[in-house]
A and B are shown apart, each in its own frame.
Chain A
Amino acid sequence: MKLKMKVLAAAAVLALGAGTAHAQISGNVVKIGVLNDQSSLYADLGGQGSVLAARMAIEDFKAKEKGLNVEVVFADHQNKPDVGSQVARRWYDAEGVDAIFDVPNSGVALAVNQVTREKGKAFINSGAASSDLTGKQCSPNTVHWTYDTWMLANGTGKAIVKTGGDTWFFLTADYAFGHALERDTEAVVVKNGGKVLGKVRHPLNTQDFSSFLLQAQASKAKIVGLANAGGDTVNSIKQASEFGIVKGGQNLAGLLVFLTDVHGLGLDKAQGLIFTETWYWDMNDANRAFAKRFAAANGNKYPSMVHAGVYAGVLHYLKAVHALKSDDGTKVVAKMKELPTDDPLFGKGTIRADGRKLHPAYLFEVKKPSESKGPYDYYKLRSTIPANEAFRPIEQGDCPLVKK
């Protein structure tokens, strides 16, 4: 036993020494892990589409020509924090994964954020919403791309209050994301002179919203704010129409709506919905080209903003890895913040010290069926919020990485 310990110790020292001697790509492979919901309520806005987006980014980065060996693995976190954190742990410990991408579901994202920080790897999140990822739970190993609850609340909330929707009732998904979205939107509503008349929390993945919708109706609030996402949003909107909520004079505010949700609902149910997103395929030629390529390989399903975020995130990550010639998570994330971003989908932007990626946000309204010229032609642009206003000011975030 003693000899074995000595040999093990010597090997450990050698390995450590080799590791710190000079920066290098671990195992000669940059391994990217796409972790998301592959089978449940968030499977459409991320799922296999995100894996495709990652692969497209690797191709477009011309990794092989630049001498980088990049591999992609994926797994289903089933919207459970314990499954997500165990997969992340196994990936980092035993399978040589260097960075994890996507991860919708804020509860899981927070767990993966924790594990990534412990192991010194990299986590580029495109799917989750909780603004805590760049706030209280910010980490030198995490970048938060695409969107967050503060941006949604400010974009959608402010716009709706300013057009007269000043009394709100919240229908909230009962987990980290729902709470964060409700909290941030309530703050915006109140700041802009509105009032919150009531709130009700529903379990994640609820099938029947009838009793919650009834309470929303009884509150007589002008706006029923849906602080939920994915299948829950689709279901609440469908059942709201069944119960005549809009007919009764109230309006629905989808606080987080994706292209895939509108597609699932159909324009006749979704028309008139106002919400904020940070990417839409039909905004410029580069986006349209990407969407065409993506759809061709994805069963004619167009990309959501999450897919775009994964693509852009992988591209920027690989840029940083290539510049550093290392896949050490903490160093790469620092490099990602150092280098300005420039990708065909989000254009030019930056990543702040707290990990927040900055880009403009867009207020969209869903077209009427008569206004749509084809599949996925669903949005019209109402206004643009410039990048420096769209996200929470860095000093308001309570992020320990930011010096006051």
Chain B
Amino acid sequence: MTEIFGISLPALSGQLLIGLINGSFYALLSLGLAVIFGLLNIINFTHGAQYMMGAFVAWFLLNKTGLGYWWALVIAPIVVGATGVVIERLMLSRLYKLDHLYGLLLTFGLALIIEGAFHHQYGSAGLPYAMPSQLTGGSNLGFMYLPNYRAWVIVASLAICLATWFLIERTKLGSYLRAATENPSLVQAFGINVPRMITLTYGFGVGLAALAGVFAAPIYQVSPQMGSSLIIVVFAVVVIGGMGSIMGSIVTGFGLGIIEGLTKYFYPEASNTVIFVIMAIVLMFRPQGLFGQR
């Protein structure tokens, strides 16, 4: 066992790798939140519940229709995204003229309804979801044993995060979206259907949450509470990264996973709090976040 400055390298690297895996979930979820806030100025508290719905759709598909993991990766985001579109059309669109905090309260209420309904139906003991056979097993990396599935999660999330960033920051569609946020009436005057773009963007952000849920299903129990434990941390990630910045949330998500991993090694009891300490500090000195613009 090699040691550097008295720190056991294998143990540290193991925790860092676990941290990176957790960071993938943070990044994927905060990506969806950042897309929604950055482009629509809506604080989507329902995000955790939508993540949970993604996992449930995957479970449902497997256990009721026999459609497996790879199908779920495509179907779940579409299904949950569609519910997001309905929410936006029926409820959120009425609140755009009001204080942003009403949007927060509405989505908070929706989260309670969704989680309560699932809790009522399924209890909260959690349902098992079988790992896809192509991804079972793992490899011994020397300093730790890395399950294949978790490696897949890191790679896949990174790919999706970068693809989304590219879509929004570098393509024409993305530029329409960004313009529409800054000046909706002007963009509408150019003939672009701004309300529909907003609706579809919300649906897209929600779909990202559901996708994260499908990723989570094989390793965490599929349970109605799975979202509420994560949502607060994800908010912190988004705030630190910069509430409108896509790259900010990706970098902060992975970064936070790593920092949490480090903290779990040196001072495990604080690992849950470190994110909030960082958030408070960032808000004090740079309220727009590390990558945000104000």
Contacts and interface: CB of A to CB of B under 8 A. Distances in A.
B15 A214 contact: yes
Interface stretch (A142-150, A240-248, A382-390): A240-248
A211 B229 contact: no
Given A207-B220, A207-B221, A235-B221, A214 B144 contact: yes
B17 to A, nearest CB: 9
Nearest to A38: B123
B220 A211 contact: no
Interface stretch (A39-47, A95-103, A309-317, A354-362): A39-47
A218 B8 contact: yes
Given A242-B219, A248-B145, A210 B18 contact: yes
Interface residues of B, number: 33
B203 interface: no
Interface in B217-271: 219-221, 223, 225-226, 229, 261, 264, 268
Contact of A39 (B15, B123, B229): B123
Interface string B16-30: 001101100000000
A192 interface: no
Contacts of A244: 138, 140, 145, 147
A64 B223 CA distance: 42
B128 A264 contact: yes
Interface in A213-270: 214-215, 217-218, 230-231, 235, 238-239, 242-244, 248, 264
B18 A43 contact: no
B125 to A, nearest CB: 5
B89 interface: no
B11 interface: yes
B125 A208 contact: no
B220 A208 contact: yes
B10 interface: yes
B14 interface: yes
A200 interface: yes
A208 B261 CA distance: 13
A211 B145 contact: no
- Which residue, of B15, B124, B150, B219, has the highest number of chain A Cβ atoms within 10 A? B124
A41 B261 contact: no
A239 B150 CA distance: 11
Interface string B194-233: 0000000000000000000000000111010110010000
Interface in A84-140: none
B132 interface: no
B119 interface: yes
A383 B225 CA distance: 40
Given A44-B125, A207-B226, A200 B18 contact: no
Interface residues of A, number: 26
Nearest to B146: A243
B126 interface: yes
A45 to B, nearest CB: 10
Given A231-B126, A239-B219, A210 B21 contact: yes
Interface string B126-159: 1010010000001010001101011000000000
B221 A40 contact: no
A178 to B, nearest CB: 15
Contacts of B138: 242-244
Contact of A218 (B10, B220, B226): B10
A242 B19 CA distance: 17
A210 to B, nearest CB: 5
B274 to A, nearest CB: 14
Nearest to A266: B128
A30 B23 CA distance: 55
A41 B14 contact: no
A105 to B, nearest CB: 14
A211 B269 CA distance: 13
A218 B10 CA distance: 8
A389 to B, nearest CB: 34
A200 B271 CA distance: 13
A269 to B, nearest CB: 10
Interface of B: 8, 10-11, 14-15, 18-19, 21-22, 119, 123-126, 128, 131, 138, 140, 144-145, 147, 149-150, 219-221, 223, 225-226, 229, 261, 264, 268
8 contacts: A40-B125, A44-B125, A207-B229, A208-B219, A211-B15, A211-B261, A217-B145, A264-B128
